[in-house]
Amino acid sequence: MPDLKMAEAANKPAGAEVLSVSDLQAWYGESHILHGINFNVKAGEVVTLLGRNGAGKTTTLKSVMGIIGKRTGSIRFNGQDITRASSDRIARQGIAFCPEERGIFASLDVRENLLLPPVVRSGGLSLDQIFELFPNLKERLGSQGTKLSGGEQQMLAIARILRTGARFLMLDEPTEGLAPVIIQQIGHTIARLKSEGFTILLVEQNFRFASTVADRYYIVEHGKVIDGFANSELSANMDKLHTYLGV
């Protein structure tokens, strides 16, 4: 089995704080979306942002990635302030973003999609390592993006960011619209990546899926983090969670 681990001196030991977000405010034009988001992510964790539609979860990921133009507060990654950094500079720090809409190139085939993203740091996964994680993609190498199923498109979207060398992955609704068997495969992939030292910030509406992969949860409502707890505290917080999410 190929080793997915990347030799990178800058990697932090498990448990060390990698991302710290404090009083994050963000706007789309004149619309004030985030109203003081606070949370942190430690090395080797899977942290999930939960909340209803429109709560500000996706905007939080985009703000960290530098895609939202107007943002204030503090975003620190590995101790460096990236609050006002451009998205390309943030990518070179080792952060990768997989959007809900997946962002693959429909007119390109699977191989072309995989080879297109630039390598921003050393140690990105090879094609053989990617095919070990996603065997379906190897079988569909010559297929255009438009010919792929929703599950295959999601696998390709995740695979593309793994080639870049990033060790901090932000996944926005990776199970949206997928069949249960594909959701299970995505879960196995996240668990595998975590075991290999990746750190993952996840946005999910599918709480049942999130509960199988997350170490900690933050609840986002009206552009603020209103609660947070560890997976070990899940049972004690189920009543509150049902209220927050309406499930």
For residue range 146-198, what is the model confidence (pLDDT) as tens digits?
889 999 999 999 999 999 999 999 999 999 989 999 999 999 999 999 999 99
Residue 76's pLDDT is 98
What pLDDT digit, counting tens, does each position of 75-128 carry? Answer: 999 999 999 999 999 999 999 999 988 888 888 999 999 988 888 888 789 999
Angstrom distance (rounded) from CA 69 to CA 190: 30
Q: Which domains does the chain have, with CATH numbers?
A: 17-245 (3.40.50.300)
Please give the model's pTM, rounded to 2 decimal places: 0.91
Residue 62's pLDDT is 97
